[in-house]
Amino acid sequence: MKIRVGFGFDVHRLVEGRELWLGGIRIEHSCGLLGHSDADVLIHALCDALLGAANMRDIGFHFPDTAGEYKNIDSKILLRDTVKMIRDKGYQIGNADITVCAERPKLNPHIPAMKKCLAEVMEVDEEDISIKATTTEKLGFTGREEGISVYATVLLQK
């Protein structure tokens, strides 16, 4: 069996007047993430980790932010299509481990719903998706609540 690791990282800016979408679910917050799509930064990092493990470039290569068809798109659609691409190349998903850097809101209460949602979209067990949250102790752009960043690692098997 061939085992391959992939890593993804993404950042989106927090602004007023946008909904906050994270891990496929909407979270009540005073501001939301800015992007061409719904700006679900967690899903974008996860897509990049999946694509990286399969050596299939990155999210912007497959879903360019210059294309009207992706304007305000639900990132769950991008994740579903990414998973299809990597399965078509013969890979199975082993597990994903994701860390969200956000000063606010508290994400722990939302993590079970995110895991359930992502597991459904990816057609994997919830047990195979780990999501963790950390502040950056008020340091840097995440600490100043200017944005949210996400790191994702996945393991694929062939």
Ligand X SMILES: C[C@@]1(CO)OP(=O)(O)OP(=O)(O)OC[C@H]1O
Binding-site positions for a divalent metal cation read 10, 12, 44
Q: Does the footprint of ligand L45E5XJ5 cover residue 134 (CB under 6 A)?
A: yes
Q: Does the footprint of ligand X cover residue 105 (CB under 6 A)?
A: no
Q: Does the footprint of ligand X cover residue 73 (CB under 6 A)?
A: yes
Long-range contacts of 56-65 (CB under 8 A, 24+ apart): 56/85, 56/86, 56/89, 59/10, 63/37, 65/35, 65/36, 65/37
- Closer of 20 and 49 to ligand L45E5XJ5 (Cβ): 20
Report the 10 Å Cβ neighbour count for 74: 15
Residue 97 to residue 88: CA distance in whole angstroms: 22
Binding residues, by number, are 10-12, 36-37, 44, 58-60, 134-137, 141, 144
Binding site residues, ligand L45E5XJ5, CB under 6 A: 102, 106-108, 133-135
